[in-house]
Amino acid sequence: MNLDKLQTYLQNNNLDAAYISNPITIAYFTGYEMEPHERIFALLAFKDADPFVFAPALNVEEAKASDWSGDVFGYLDHEDPWAIIADLASQRSAELNRWAIEKEHLSVSRLQALQTALPNASFAHDLSPFIADLRMIKTPAEIKHLQAAGAECDFAFKVAFETLKQGMTERAIASQIDYQLQVQHGTMQTSFETIVQAGKNAANPHLGPTMTQIKPNELVLFDLGFMKEGYASDSSRTVAFGQPSAKEREIYEVNREAQQAAVDAAKPGMTASELDAVARDIITKAGYGEYFIHRLGHGIGKVVHEAPAIMQGNDLVLQPGMCFSIEPGIYIPGVAGVRIEDCGVVTENGFEVFTHTSKDLKIIPAD
Ligand code: MN
């Protein structure tokens, strides 16, 4: 179990305890998912004692009813959570000198509050890299959730292609996609704001849906993701609404070839940098290298962007169980943008995608 790995890590690194503050990390270790807003929510782990969850009093009962079977302690709004945490930790373990924290998450003011409550302790050790490495290799159960989340994207693309009509705004289409996912599939949460981009808007990779109306004879880019069982999906398709120009057909085909080549090439033993190059070389040779303005992909799991980054200069060797996106894009400012994206998992001998919507250029009649 992953919490055993955390305890072993504490022992091997001569650490007494860990203060885990990122709700995503807490969910990863405990199965209890919660958004605490401004209140204090933490998992405390020890080298020689059982871990416990510390939560606002109003969440204690739901935490106890969750998959988490360990202790849960709460605090009321008017109480000092830091004094209670220090007291609970001291009851758990006699030696509390060296602590590990998530430096990527814990705020400076909360670190200072911890330090004040535990004046003799050191909070110098950063646990964030260990947690990122641990989360990078997915278990079979996690891969099942990622596949299920991917299937939501395939459904959403069907909705998107059926919804696309002349005169509709990008925002209306995005809202319709989200609405149909909620009412037909019970999907309560997207993993990021649904992206619908028409024409030259697609040349800005992360531009949110605008009030721009869909016109005939332009490319429309969809980038969609939904949460399922606490895991994210993320997939992009670009379609032609009406007749694409020769240039649009060309950049689509170059990008499609680059994306498929990378999906086909991904396997254990190669580096993230080498995989990025598979797609980038095809786009560069076709003359569009300067328009591919981001890394090939990002890891995916409990959040939509996590390790590993599939990019130039990352010598990380790919291993079975790593899950990430493969999403080359060509963005020509003022003209058009194309991106095709599938997330998937590195298997023993290749790469298995989570989304299966066709990547042949789809032409949706504009009349
Ligand atoms: Mn992505």
Residues 145 and 224 in one domain: yes
Q: How far apart are CA 40 and CA 71, in angstroms?
A: 16
CA of 326 to the centre of ligand 1 (A): 8
Residues 266 and 330 in one domain: yes
Q: Please tell me the distance between residue 218's alpha carbon and the centre of ligand 1 in angstroms.
A: 22
Q: Are residues 123 and 144 in the same domain?
A: no
Q: Rounded distance, CA 157 to CA 357, Å?
A: 7
Give the CATH number of the domain where residue 358 resides.
3.90.230.10
Q: Separation of 330 CA from ligand 1 center, angstroms?
A: 14
Residues 178 and 32 in one domain: no
Cα(339) to centroid(ligand 1), Å:
10
CA of 235 to the centre of ligand 1 (A): 6
Question: What is the structure's pLDDT at 188?
Answer: 86
> Ligand 1 mean position to 345 CA, how many Å?
14
Q: Which of 86, 114, 135 marks a domain boundary?
A: 135
Taking a C-beta distance cutoff of 8 angstroms, is the pair 334, 211 a contact? no
Q: How far is the CA of 60 from the centre of ligand 1 (A)?
A: 35
Co-location of 319 and 205 in the same domain = yes
Same domain, 131 and 142: no
Contacts of 84 (CB under 8 A, 6+ apart): 54, 73, 75
- pLDDT, one tens digit for every residue, the chain (367 residues): 689 999 999 999 999 999 999 999 999 999 999 999 999 999 999 999 999 999 999 999 999 999 999 999 999 999 999 999 999 999 999 899 999 999 999 999 999 999 999 999 999 999 999 999 999 999 999 999 999 999 999 999 999 999 999 999 999 999 999 999 999 999 989 999 999 999 999 999 888 899 999 999 999 999 999 999 999 999 999 999 999 999 999 999 999 999 999 999 999 999 999 999 999 999 999 999 999 999 999 999 999 999 999 999 999 999 999 999 999 999 999 999 999 999 999 999 999 999 999 999 999 999 7
Q: Among 135, 165, 193, which residue terminates a domain? A: 135
149 and 116 in a common domain: no
CATH number at residue 44: 3.40.350.10
Q: Please, are residues 155 and 148 in contact by the beta-carbon 8 Å criterion?
A: no
How remote is the CA of residue 98 from the centroid of ligand 1, in Å?
38
**DSSP codes of every residue in 299-340:** E-SSSSSEEEEE-TT--PBP-TTBEEEE--EEEETTTEEEE-
Expressed in angstroms and rounded, the spacing between residue 4 Cα and the centre of ligand 1 is 31
Token pair 């807490």: residue: 26
Same domain, 27 and 16: yes
Decide if 200 contacts 335 (C-beta within 8 A): yes
Say yes or no: 101 and 174 in one domain: no
Q: Do 39 and 90 have their domain in common?
A: yes
DSSP run (H or E) holding 25: helix 23-30
Ligand 1 centroid vs 297 CA: distance in angstroms? 7
Give the count of domains, the chain: 2
Decide: helix, strand or coil at residue 188.
coil
**What is the full DSSP assignment across 57-112?**
GGGHHHHHHSS--SEEEEE-TTS-HHHHHHHHHHHH-S---EEEE-TTTS-HHHHH
> pLDDT value at position 206?
82
What residues make up the domain containing 190?
137-364
CA of 66 to the centre of ligand 1 (A): 30
Going from the Cα of 59 to the center of ligand 1, the distance in angstroms, rounded, reads 33
> In the structure encoding, which two tokens stand for residue 185, read together?
């599939």
> Are 96 and 90 spatial neighbours (Cβ–Cβ below 8 Å)?
yes
- Regarding whether 344 and 219 lie in a shared domain, the answer is yes
Q: What's the CA dihedral at 18, 21, 25, 28 to 10 degrees?
A: 80
159 and 261 co-located in one domain: yes
Going from the Cα of 270 to the center of ligand 1, the distance in angstroms, rounded, reads: 21
The set of residues, in sequence order, having a beta carbon less than 8 Å from that of 328 and lying 6+ positions away, is 255, 258, 259, 262, 279, 280, 283, 292, 296, 339, 340
How many angstroms is it from 96 CA to the middle of ligand 1? 41
